[in-house]
Amino acid sequence: MQTLEISSYCIPFRIPGSQGDRKALHYFCIQASSDLSGYILSDFWNRLVLQRSHDEPTVRQALVALCALHLEYVSTEPDNCRSGVQNISPHTLGLYIKAVSEMTGSDSELKRLEEVFSRLDLQATIYNDTRTPLLTMASRDERSGKKHCVDTAVFASIDDAQTTLDKLLNWAFHFLTANAKYKFMPPCEVPPAVFQERFELVTQFRRWSVALDGFSSCTMQQPSTSPPEHLVAAPSVSEGSTLLRIHHRSAQMLLDSCLAQANFYPNEFDDGGRSVLDMSRPLIQKAVLPSAKPAVAVRRSFSSELGVVAPLFLLAIKTSDPDIREEAISLIAASGRREGLYDSHGIVEIFKKLTEPQQPSSCVNLENTQRIDTALRGVSLESANAELIDTATGDLKGMAKMLNMNN
């Protein structure tokens, strides 16, 4: 077990339940809520869940179980817990899901819950790119261009920007999964409606960027406000904006490279990859700054939200620039983060397997033993390992299994 530095403060409210419940909820206040929020301060994790747990024992017990699992994960060495939170028992997980599903409240509270589940739905599709999102958030008029999906010139808040980007990403991944069959077809064989929808998507992504720029300009002119005392590791608005820009840029690169006509241009993940690295680097460096106390280990982190690991994974596997790929993998390794379904330690192991040269045999010459090294010069890992990736079940678990990675 790692030695962790735990902050302390006076809880500004009375907490019902047993002493064990109070300890777990205290840990939730000082650490877990911030971790689960990721790089964007979440009203769901930092207010709504705790508020409802005060009045509803079902929610409180689910939160206590979550806190115990979170603490176990962040205080365990990666090498001693390869499967991370996947060791949750079906019984405990079932109780938690039941507790959340039975939660009732006002329309605003249910709206927050819907936003969280829409992002979990998106995570599942990014993790398994053959899966279509279950939710459809963009209307027919928005997809056809009759109505703007981004209906403002300046976002009112970071939550406003995130909610709008959630809808755009949901629309984008519906489009990508539905039209994957056209990726390598000549443009003349692709229905015009596909190009039209992509045009509408790209237009709305540009409008989103302009609206966030306007919000950032307004924020810079306003005095900064401190988060509540108990949110000791609360992310700043600037960090949240940076993360949203990373997700926005990653989706843009996927859209730009999804149809055959894009194959005649340089790799989009080479051209846009540097900007993703530049934005990701300070977020990760801030999170892994060494503690002032040498005996205190760098804490592992588990977030329920999509953060930097998934965008860096997509960049590393799709770029043909070895320098971009190497830094993306290095940043993933340095983060030590688990963000939703993406675990940085497992991803680094997958990349090691994908890039290691094959061992020579008596019937293989030296030139063939350098197959991977040669293939990766000017070629993406996705292309160099196309047969493996296509044979896998569509997600990282399937890829790991094909690479004989038991854990």
Tell me the backbone φ, ψ of residue 347, rounded to 5 degrees.
-65, -40
At 22-42, the pLDDT tens digits run 777 778 887 788 788 777 777
Q: What is the pTM of this model?
A: 0.70
Quickly count helices (H) and strands (E) in the chain: 21, 3
Which alpha helices (H) appear in 128-224, and where do they start and end?
Answer: 140-144, 158-178, 192-220
What 3-state class would DSSP assign to 160?
helix
**What integer is the mean pLDDT of 58-69?**
76
pLDDT bucket at 366, cuts 50 / 70 / 90: very low
At 134-191, the pLDDT tens digits run 888 999 999 988 999 998 899 999 989 999 999 999 999 999 999 988 888 888 899 9
Of residues 272, 277, 270, the one with CA closest to residue 378: 270
Of residues 329, 336, 288, the one with CA closest to residue 312: 329
Of residues 332, 337, 352, the one with CA closest to residue 404: 352
Q: Which residues contact 317 (CB under 8 A, 6 or more apart)?
A: 351, 354, 380, 381, 382
**What integer is the mean pLDDT of 276-296?**
71
Mean pLDDT across the chain, nearest whole number? 74
Q: Which residues contact 18 (CB under 8 A, 6 or more apart)?
A: none
Q: How far apart are CA 245 and CA 243, in angstroms?
A: 5
Of residues 44, 45, 40, the one with CA closest to residue 240: 40
Q: Which residues contact 64 (CB under 8 A, 6 or more apart)?
A: 17, 20, 21, 24, 25
At 196-249, the pLDDT tens digits run 999 999 999 999 999 999 998 887 665 555 544 444 445 678 888 999 999 999
Q: How far apart are CA 209 and CA 161, in angstroms?
A: 9
Q: How far apart are CA 34 and CA 230, in angstroms?
A: 10
Token code pair at residue 338: 């688990």
What count of Cα atoms within 13 Å lies in the side-chain half-sphere of residue 103?
32
At 307-359, the pLDDT tens digits run 899 999 999 988 888 899 999 999 999 988 888 888 888 888 888 887 766 54
Domain ranges of the chain: 1-104
